[in-house]
Amino acid sequence: MGMFTLAEVASLNDIQPTYRILKPWWDVFMDYLAVVMLMVAIFAGTMQLTKDQVVCLPVLQSTVNSKAQPSTSGKADFTTVETTTGQGEDASMRTVSFGSAPTVTPDVPLSRATSPQYQPTESGQELKKEQKDSSGRKTNLDFQQYVFINQMCYHLALPWYSKYFPYLVLIHTIILIVSSNFWFKYPKTCSKIEHFVSILGKCFESPWTTKALSETACEDSEENKQRLTGAQSLPKYVSTSSDEGSPSASTPMITKSGFKFSADKPMIEVPSVTILDKKDGEQAKALFEKVRKFRAHVEDSDLIYKLYVGQTIIKTFKFIFILCYTANFVNTISFEHICNPKVEHLIGYTQFECTHNMAYMLKKLLISYISLICVYGFICLYTLFWLFRIPLKEYSFEKVREESSFSDIPDVKNDFAFLLHMVDQYDQLYSKRFGVFLSEVSENKLREISLNHEWTFEKLRQHVSRNAQDKQELHLFMLSGVPDAVFDLTDLDVLKLELIPEAKIPAKISQMTNLQELHLCHCPAKVEQTAFSFLRDHLRCLYVKFTDVAEIPAWVYLLKNLRELYLIGNLNSENNKMIGLESLRELRHLKILHVKSNLTKIPPNITDVAPHLTKLVIHNDGTKLVVLNSLKKMMNVAELELQNCELERIPHAIFSLSNLQELDLKSNSIRTIEEIISFQHLKRLTCLKLWHNKIVNIPSSITHVKNLESLYLSNNKLESLPAAVFSLQKLRCLDVSYNSITVIPVEIGLLQNLQHFHITGNKVDILPKQLFKCVKLRTLSLGQNCITSIPDKVGQLLQLTHLELKGNCIDRLPATLGQCQLLRKSGLVVEDHLFDTLPSEVKEVLNQDTSIPFANGI
Strand partners, 728: none
Specify burial of residue 126 (Cβ count, 10 A radius: 0-12, 13-18, 19+). middle
| Vertex 215 angle, CA 213 and 221, to 5° | 165
Distance CA(823)–CA(805), nearest Å, equals 13
Give residues with Cβ within 8 angstroms of 840, minimum separation 6. Answer: none
pLDDT score of 254:
35
Asked if domains 593-686 and 718-850 share a fold, the reply is yes
pLDDT at 596 > cutoff 60: yes
Please choose, from the candidates 662, 658, 701, the residue with its C-alpha nearest in 3D space to the C-alpha of residue 683: 658
How high is the pLDDT of residue 112?
A: 34
565 sits in which H/E element: strand 564-568
Burial class (CB in 10 A: 0-12, 13-18, 19+), 463: middle
Contact yes or no for 750/730 (Cβ under 8 A)? no
Burial classification of residue 249, based on how many CB atoms lie within 10 Å of its CB (0-12 exposed, 13-18 middle, 19 or more buried): exposed
**Nearest Cα to Cα of residue 358 among 627, 116, 46:** 46
Ranges of each domain in the chain: 16-59+157-185+311-391, 456-590, 593-686, 718-850
- pLDDT tens by residue, 193-227: 787 888 777 777 777 766 666 655 453 344 444 44
Q: Which residue has the higher pLDDT, 622 or 574?
A: 622
Tell me, what's the pLDDT at 216? 53
Determine the Cα angle at 6 with ends 5 and 12, to 5°. Answer: 110
Of the two residues 351 and 219, the one the predictor is more confident about is 351
Instruction: Say if residue 24's pLDDT is above 90.
Output: no
Closest CA to 792 of 776, 772, 809, 811: 772
| Model pLDDT, residue 6 | 59
Range with the lowest mean pLDDT among 153-167, 205-219, 458-472, 641-655? 205-219
Helix axes 207-215, 278-299, angle to 10 degrees: 90
In a 3-state reduction of DSSP, which class is residue 334?
Answer: strand
> Of 644, 559, 550, nearest to 596 (Cα)?
644
Rounded to 5 degrees, what are φ and ψ at 824? -125, 165
Is pLDDT above 80 for 743?
Answer: yes
Find residue 412's DSSP bridge partners.
Answer: 395
SS3 of the chain: helix, strand, coil, percent, to 5:
45, 10, 40
| pLDDT number for residue 251 | 33
State which H helix or E strand residue 364 sits in.
helix 359-389
3-state secondary structure 104-138: CCCCCCCCHHHHHHHCCCCHHHHHHHHHHCCCCCC
Reply yes or no on whether the pLDDT at 168 is more than 90. Answer: no
DSSP 8-class letter at 378 = H
Top mean pLDDT of 40-44, 365-369, 474-478 is at 474-478
Taking alpha carbons only, the member of 339, 326, 324 closest to residue 365 is 326
CB of 451 within 8 A of CB of 479?
yes
> pLDDT tens digits for 400-414?
777 766 777 777 788
Residue 435 has pLDDT above 80, yes or no: no
CA distance 712 to 691: 6
Give the separation between CA 88 and CA 38, rounded to whole angstroms: 22
Domain 593-686 in CATH 3.80.10.10: yes
Per residue in 642-692, pLDDT tens?
Answer: 999 999 999 988 998 999 999 999 999 999 999 898 888 889 999 999 999
| Burial class, 196, CB count within 10 angstroms (exposed 0-12 / middle 13-18 / buried 19+) | buried
How far is residue 759 from each of residues 207, 534, 721, 756, 762, measured CA to CA in Å?
70, 50, 11, 10, 6
Q: What is the DSSP string of 150-208?
A: HHHHHHHTS-HHHHHHHHHHHHHHHHHHHHHHHHHHSHHHHHHHHHHHHHHHHHHH-HH
Note the pLDDT of residue 207.
Answer: 72
Is residue 260 over pLDDT 50?
A: no
Helix (H) or strand (E) holding 309: helix 303-329
CB 569 within 8 A of CB 545: yes
Torsion angle of alpha carbons 389, 392, 395, 396, nearest 10°? -10
Architecture of domain 718-850: Alpha-Beta Horseshoe (3.80)
Secondary structure in 3-state letters for 380-426? HHHHHHHHHHCCCCEECCHHHHHHHCCCCCCCEEHHHHHHHHHHHHH
* pLDDT higher than threshold 90 for residue 736: yes
What global pTM score does this model have? 0.61
Lowest mean per-residue pLDDT among 279-288, 709-718, 780-789: 279-288
Is 332 a residue whose pLDDT tops 90?
A: no
What pLDDT, on the 0 to 100 scale, is given for residue 45?
Answer: 82
DSSP, res 578? B
Spatial contact of 571 and 545, defined as CB atoms under 8 Å apart: no
**What value does the mean pLDDT take over residues 424-443?**
76
Say which CATH topology domain 456-590 has. Answer: 3.80.10
Tens of pLDDT, residue by residue over 489-547, are: 999 999 999 998 878 899 999 999 999 999 999 998 999 999 999 999 999 999 999 98
pLDDT band at 50 (very low <50, low <70, confident <90, very high): confident
Q: Is 605 a residue whose pLDDT tops 70?
A: yes
> Higher pLDDT residue, 90 or 535?
535
Give the Cα-Cα-Cα angle 455, 461, 463 (nearest 5 degrees). Answer: 80
Cα angle vertex 52, ends 163, 65, to 5°? 85
Question: Rounded to whole angstroms, how far apart are CA atoms 246 and 268?
Answer: 11
The CATH code that applies to domain 16-59+157-185+311-391 is 1.20.1440.80
Query: Which helix (H) or strand (E) segment is 47 a member of?
Result: helix 25-51
How confident is residue 237, by pLDDT bands cut at 50, 70 and 90? very low
Alpha-helix residue ranges (DSSP H) falling in 52-107 = 85-92
Rounded CA separation 522/538 (Å) = 22
Structure confidence at residue 200 (pLDDT): 77
Q: Report pLDDT digits (tens) over 176-198.
A: 888 888 878 778 887 887 878 88
pLDDT, mean of residues 576-582: 66
N residues, the chain? 858
Ramachandran angles phi, psi of 593, nearest 5°: -120, 125
Lowest mean pLDDT among 51-60, 134-143, 470-479: 134-143
> Ranked by mean pLDDT, which of 78-92, 265-279, 696-710 comes out on top?
696-710
Using DSSP's 3-state secondary structure scheme, residue 496 falls into: strand
Report the candidate in 71, 96, 105 with the shortest Cα–Cα distance to residue 334.
71
Quote the longest CA-to-CA distance of the chain. Answer: 167
